[in-house]
Chains A and B, each alone.
Chain A
């Protein structure tokens, strides 16, 4: 018994210095260290807590390039039971539709090999694209119900999951029949540390699998760049907003404050706003 949980994570470049190739519009990843997308660690933590409480297994899944295996090893060191990496040249250049297609079919492959999956859990968004698409898209492919921004979850007697979230000033609680897709609010769960035992397990037992499209058997026109309805047409620099750019280095703080206040009171955009606040009316 217990829950079988698949948790999705992305291996992302960890720097602001990443540039886009102006010709192809893709990320230049060379020389940039990568990490597990930080919001996904909250999703992993929720999965682990549910397993620790109700039993079952947590399976980490990613679509990514070969180095993403380091991410799998890290998650296994944290206590994840098993991992799948969907990795193939034909998956390269995928937009979120093509990525979610591989992940949804990967989940079906996982079900075939390990048994029925009860929950698929994702992070809120990735730091390299921050679209927050994948959760809803996987739910759409699988035709499972889904809830975003989850910050608490518990099973009910009738084997549904009860989740709580905060959306625009409201606390909401949902009851969702399994199987279901959840996406976890950023920072909702503090990820646990890796353990030595987990680290050894990852290194020695290697409880993970690398799956190519040969094993997955998807139409090559439906994955990677070809399976992506959106394409990057070009990349440019963001135009600057014109600003006044008036700079003042005061002799003393009071002088600086007076300079600024005079500017704001002479500026028709801000004058009335400030006087209204100070004098009322």
Chain B
């Protein structure tokens, strides 16, 4: 670990030695009285970092009276300790209220690392906390590591182009703060037998100056893409909004939702909240069907967690071909309706057709890539 030379660093940063800081925090985001899935997912990298640092994983739970019952969920998923603050003013999320309590706790306990989920709220909150502590923050990490010599956490993120990875260190300041988007990490499997320590802290969160005057749930749409098991995704290659109609028929048959590439969003064919990729969402379906999508690095970072990727593309040299599990080369206007036909037949004829499909040997013309 480095010794920080107080004369060399910025005069308005607190001069503190990294060795004074311990433990890896995950700040839980609450929504409708529950810990959001994305925060639980952050326990996965937290455990990896804590193991390498030989430090503890600590959950931070800030909420209205009664929130302490949620500590169990964090402990089941690997928190060894949970710090809880319960206060009426924490019943509404506000970056000022939640943020100032996190800052206060961080100054008292001196964690070496704080992780936040990069949800819409987390992205608003985390940089406020980092800045108020005069420390560094790295957004949208896709991985974390620990430098064995300096014990600095390496926050790993794609910078400008998604092909590259930057390893970012915070050598002279603590805590080291990082965020990761939802679904970049899986949540640890819960084990409700696990035991952990619970610390109840007192804090007086300020009244938020930005006052919430109205909150209304929007009409519930389709399943958001980040929660879907099957995604049928379209790109520029669809040629127009009517292409998505063809995809919708396939999606409804196999219980999928519609998503798309940035070019499809930019063309106005689907809404922004359906965009997959670096500047859209990361998704983790079991099956991702990419139709008329070339497979740019910025798109493919969003589907790293997909269990299987199917591509339908007219061009056998498209980059996606070497990044998918199964690719059919051809015009989607022909392939998708044919697939819909086959699926309908399988739905009707059930086992009989299943046998035929599985047995029927078709001589395969393979393309080597």
Contact = CB atoms under 8 A, between A and B. Distances in A.
A20 interface: yes
A269 interface: yes
Interface stretch (B39-47, B62-70, B196-204, B297-305): B297-305
B131 A246 contact: no
A30 interface: no
A18 B164 CA distance: 11
Given A258-B360, A261-B346, A233 B168 contact: yes
A138 to B, nearest CB: 8
Determine the main DSSP class of A at the interface with B. mixed
Most buried by A among B31, B123, B128, B254: B123
Interface in A146-183: 146-149, 162, 166-177, 180
Given A149-B120, A229-B13, A270-B286, A128 B218 contact: no
B354 interface: yes
B172 interface: yes
Contacts of A133: 127, 130-131, 137, 139
A25 B95 contact: no
Given A229-B170, A257-B341, A174 B213 contact: yes
B326 interface: yes
Contacts of B126: 136
Contact of A235 (B120, B167, B362): B167
Interface string A119-159: 00000000111111111110111000111110000000000
Contacts of B95: 136, 146
A166 B214 CA distance: 11
Interface stretch (A41-49, A63-71, A95-103, A195-203): A95-103
Nearest to A177: B209
A226 B5 CA distance: 13
Contacts of A1: none
A2 interface: no
Contacts of A23: none
B235 interface: no
Contacts of A147: 210
Contact of A279 (B132, B134, B347): B347
B216 A249 contact: no
Nearest to B285: A273
Interface residues of A, number: 96
B211 A174 contact: yes
A204 interface: no
23 contacts: A18-B160, A129-B159, A137-B131, A146-B210, A148-B124, A168-B120, A173-B213, A235-B166, A238-B297, A238-B301, A243-B309, A243-B322, A247-B327, A247-B369, A249-B328, A250-B335, A256-B335, A259-B362, A264-B308, A264-B326, A265-B358, A277-B254, A278-B343
Interface of A: 13, 16, 18-20, 25, 27, 95-97, 100, 127-137, 139-141, 145-149, 162, 166-177, 180, 186-187, 219, 221-222, 226-238, 240-241, 243-251, 253-267, 269-270, 273-275, 277-279
Given A132-B127, A229-B173, 19 more contacts: A16-B161, A129-B159, A130-B140, A136-B124, A136-B127, A139-B128, A140-B132, A145-B208, A146-B128, A172-B214, A221-B10, A230-B168, A230-B169, A235-B164, A237-B164, A238-B142, A246-B325, A260-B328, A269-B307
Interface of B: 8-13, 31, 95-96, 119-121, 123-128, 130-132, 134-140, 142, 147, 152, 154-155, 158-173, 208-218, 220, 224, 229-230, 253-255, 272, 278-279, 286-287, 296-298, 301, 304, 307-310, 316, 321-330, 334-335, 337-339, 341-343, 346-347, 350, 354, 357-358, 360, 362, 364-367, 369
10 tightest A-B contacts by CB?
Answer: A229-B136, A230-B136, A145-B209, A257-B338, A253-B338, A140-B131, A173-B214, A222-B10, A133-B127, A253-B334
